[in-house]
Structure 1
Amino acid sequence: MGAAGRIVAEGRDTGTVVFPGAAWKFYLDAGLAERVSRRIKQLRHRGETVDEDEIFNQIVKRDRDDMERSLAPLKAAPDAVRINSTDLGPDDVLARMLAVIRRNPIKG
Structure 2
Amino acid sequence: STFAGNVGLAISQILILCGMLQHGLRQTTEMIAQMTSVERVLQFTKLDKEGPFDSDVNSKPPATWPARGQIKFEKTSLRYSDDAPPVLKSLNFVIEPGMK
TM-score interval for Structure 1 and Structure 2 normalised by the shorter chain: under 0.3
Q: Higher relative CO (CA 8 A, sep ≥ 6), structure 1 or 2? A: 1
Q: Which has the larger radius of gyration?
A: 2
Q: Which has the higher strand share?
A: 2
After TM superposition, the score normalised by the length of structure 2 is 0.19
- Tell me the TM-score normalised to structure 1 length: 0.18
